[in-house]
């Protein structure tokens, strides 16, 4: 083993070693979904209130879905939002 065992390793390798890869990946995926959903809504002319009605939920939930920094959502909620947009 060399003196600098992490030389040449990736940031993903570092996060995996530190135990944070899954969390960082989940946050990144949530941000991408939120941005894509927001873009799809804009292109389709769908308001937050309209999406909430399609999802049979409140506008507050839609706000949380569209908030890239809110990582407390369930996969079910995000799936319902995506299905509501087609």
Domains of the chain: 11-85 (1.10.260)
**Percentages helix, strand, coil for the chain, rounded to the nearest 5?**
70, 0, 30
Contact between 63 and 81 (Cβ < 8 Å): no
pLDDT at 48 over 90: yes
Model confidence pLDDT, tens digit, residues 17-28: 777 788 888 888
Angle between helical axes of 75-85 and 21-44 (0-180°, round to 10): 20
Model pTM score: 0.73
């Amino acid at each position: 083993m060399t003196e600098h065992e992490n030389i040449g390793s990736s940031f993903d390798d570092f996060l995996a070693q530190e135990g944070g890869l899954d969390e960082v990946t989940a946050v990144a995926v949530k941000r991408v979904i939120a941005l894509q959903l927001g873009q799809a809504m804009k292109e389709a002319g769908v308001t937050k209130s309209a999406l909430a009605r399609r999802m049979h939920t409140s506008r507050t939930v839609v706000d949380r879905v569209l908030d890239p920094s809110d990582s407390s959502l369930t996969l079910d909620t995000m799936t319902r939002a995506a299905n509501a947009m087609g």
